[in-house]
Amino acid sequence: VEDLFAAGIIDPTMVTRSALQNAASIAKNILTTEAVVAEPPEKSPVGAGAGMPDMGGMM
């Protein structure tokens, strides 16, 4: 811990606010990354839609 005024920091409040914002941003990224991790879908044999009529060019 250092005296920010003695170190030449003009606005120590801004430094503290910036540090808190960066910490919150990192925490958000960690939480979001954990929420995005998922297992790949299982490949199950699915038969084609036999007897399905033509959809008239619709996609």
> Is 48 domain-assigned?
no
Residue whose C-alpha is closest to residue 12's, from 26, 22, 21, 2: 2
Pick from 19-23, 31-35, 51-55: least confident: 51-55
**Which pLDDT score is estimated for 44?**
75
> Is 43 domain-assigned?
no
**Which pLDDT score is estimated for 18?**
93
Q: Which residue has the higher pLDDT, 50 or 23?
A: 23
> Is 56 domain-assigned?
no
Count of domains observed in the chain: 1
> Is 17 domain-assigned?
yes
**Which pLDDT score is estimated for 55?**
66
> Is 47 domain-assigned?
no
Burial class (CB in 10 A: 0-12, 13-18, 19+), 51: exposed
Domain containing 19: what range? 1-37
Q: Which residue has the higher pLDDT, 26 or 38?
A: 26
> Is 8 domain-assigned?
yes
> Is 26 domain-assigned?
yes
